[in-house]
């Protein structure tokens, strides 16, 4: 009986021991499961944090959202003198085209924006008076030929004492009057652009050419085919933008700061994201009492693309030359007091991948701001120069979608 009791106690102890080991193993498994879950959660958070700075866009989205790409520019943001003005042309590089003789427009060979050379025909006018003027010229020329021969004959006769002085003088007066009439008629036809040699061959034309007086671009066409044009009517305007320059107003208190040879940076008031350069070549010598300013003239350095006479500009006369890395203001986004830009990471035929990076934003002027990179980037790195706000909106939209998921 005692042996049976001992055996029973032994088995009970054994069962209790096995049960404790199983509980311990379950607790260890539970701890391992919790640890693995935490590791996975941390890894997911890290991946999410990394992916939250990346955004993928379709290439056609760039056009739809007016997003532009470019590189960091070197812009002079040192000490400057702020001035304004407009793009101008010297008077000899701008021409109003009209006609000497009125008439109905027969044809037009140009449209606004066309480039023309000096002497190029831009239109033709019809007028019956043109035919009469050519006929009169031929008549005067024929009379002149006769009188010229008669003058030479009388001159010889006078020397031989065969004719009287009075007769010679009358012939001489008729000769010089005819010569004067011929010269006037010839000059008038030449002013109208008619070919004298062709007329002298007996070829009469019924229209006169309208000729470009300078080379340049046609603008402000004020006529159409069949319309009567009077001599005082401006038909075309031609401008030679090759000599486009800045006309700026410098106020009385700043006159001593402007000097010939100084560099100017400027932008159009309608497009502040593009910077142009110019150099002062002349300072006005007349003081405008109404505006209390002096006119400063500066020639444009480099491209004239996008510049037209009459456009208003915001300009800065460089006092101290300090060029820095800069981007247009539209390239920056600000969140929680920090500034960011987007750089291109990858691009293919259909998509582009952009990354949002933190930068420090410095001084700003003329629509540009200095950019200081927190971390080094590659030279000539492609960045979003316009529309960063919309890229950031797409990035945030993607973040919200992931969180909801």
- The tens digit of pLDDT for each residue in 212-268 reads 999 999 988 988 999 999 988 899 999 998 889 999 999 888 888 889 999 998 989
- For residue 365, the model assigns a pLDDT of 83
* 7 has a pLDDT exceeding 80: no
* 34 has a pLDDT exceeding 50: no
CA–CA dist 391, 342 (Å, integer): 8
Phi, psi of 221 (to 5 degrees): -75, 120
* 151 has a pLDDT exceeding 80: yes
CA–CA dist 313, 3 (Å, integer): 114
Supply the pTM of this predicted model: 0.58
CA–CA dist 131, 135 (Å, integer): 6
Alpha helices (H) in 160-202, listed in sequence order = 165-191, 196-200
**Listed ranges 44-53, 73-82, 383-392; the one with the highest mean pLDDT:** 383-392
Q: Which residue has the higher pLDDT, 13 or 92?
A: 92
Reported as a single tens digit per residue, the pLDDT across 380-396 is 889 999 999 999 988 88
3-17, 90-104, 153-167: least confidently modelled range = 3-17
CA–CA dist 237, 294 (Å, integer): 29
- For residue 297, the model assigns a pLDDT of 94
Reported as a single tens digit per residue, the pLDDT across 344-378 is 999 998 899 999 999 999 888 878 888 998 888 77
> Over pLDDT 70: what percentage of the chain?
85
Nearest one of 71, 72, 69 to 352, comparing CA atoms = 69
- Mean pLDDT (whole number) for 134-150: 90
- For residue 16, the model assigns a pLDDT of 54
The domains located in the chain, with CATH, are 50-75+324-404 (2.40.420.20), 80-89+244-321 (2.40.30.170), 96-238 (2.40.50.100)
- For residue 120, the model assigns a pLDDT of 93
CA–CA dist 307, 287 (Å, integer): 28
CA–CA dist 136, 183 (Å, integer): 12
């Amino acid at each position: 009986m005692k042996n049976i009791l001992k055996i029973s106690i032994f088995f009970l102890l054994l069962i209790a021991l096995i049960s404790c080991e199983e509980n311990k193993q379950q607790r260890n498994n539970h701890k391992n499961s919790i640890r693995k879950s935490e590791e996975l959660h941390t890894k997911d958070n890290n991946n999410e944090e990394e992916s939250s700075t990346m955004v993928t866009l379709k290439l056609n989205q760039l056009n739809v959202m007016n997003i532009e790409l470019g590189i960091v520019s070197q812009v002079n943001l040192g000490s400057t003198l702020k001035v304004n003005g407009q793009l101008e042309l010297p008077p000899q590089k701008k021409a109003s085209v009209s006609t000497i003789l009125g008439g109905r427009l027969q044809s037009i060979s140009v449209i606004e924006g066309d480039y023309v050379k000096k002497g190029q025909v831009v239109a033709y006018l019809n007028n019956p008076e043109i035919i009469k003027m050519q006929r009169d010229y031929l008549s005067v020329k024929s009379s002149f030929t006769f009188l010229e021969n008669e003058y030479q004959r009388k001159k010889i006769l006078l020397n031989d004492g065969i004719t009287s002085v009075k007769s010679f003088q009358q012939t001489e007066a008729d000769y010089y009057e005819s010569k004067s009439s011929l010269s006037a008629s010839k000059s008038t036809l030449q002013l109208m652009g008619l070919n004298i040699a062709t007329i002298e061959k007996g070829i009469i034309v019924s229209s006169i050419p309208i000729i470009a007086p300078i080379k340049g671009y046609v603008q402000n066409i004020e006529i159409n085919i069949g319309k009567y044009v009077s001599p005082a009517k401006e038909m075309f305007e031609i401008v030679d933008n090759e000599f486009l320059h800045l006309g700026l107003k410098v106020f009385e208190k700043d006159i001593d700061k402007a000097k010939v040879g100084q560099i100017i940076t400027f932008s159009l008031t309608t497009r502040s994201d593009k910077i142009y350069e110019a150099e002062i070549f002349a300072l006005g010598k007349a003081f405008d009492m109404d505006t209390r300013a002096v006119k400063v003239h500066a020639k444009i350095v480099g491209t004239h693309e996008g510049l037209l006479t009459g456009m208003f500009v915001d300009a800065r006369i460089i006092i101290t030359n300090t060029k820095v890395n800069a981007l247009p203001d539209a390239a920056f986004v600000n969140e929680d007091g920090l500034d960011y830009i987007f750089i291109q990471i990858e691009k293919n035929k259909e998509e582009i991948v952009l990354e949002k990076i933190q930068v420090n934003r410095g001084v700003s002027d003329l629509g540009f701001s200095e950019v200081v990179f927190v971390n080094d980037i590659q030279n000539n790195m492609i960045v979003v120069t316009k529309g960063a706000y919309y890229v950031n909106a797409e990035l945030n939209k993607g973040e919200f979608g992931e969180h909801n998921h």
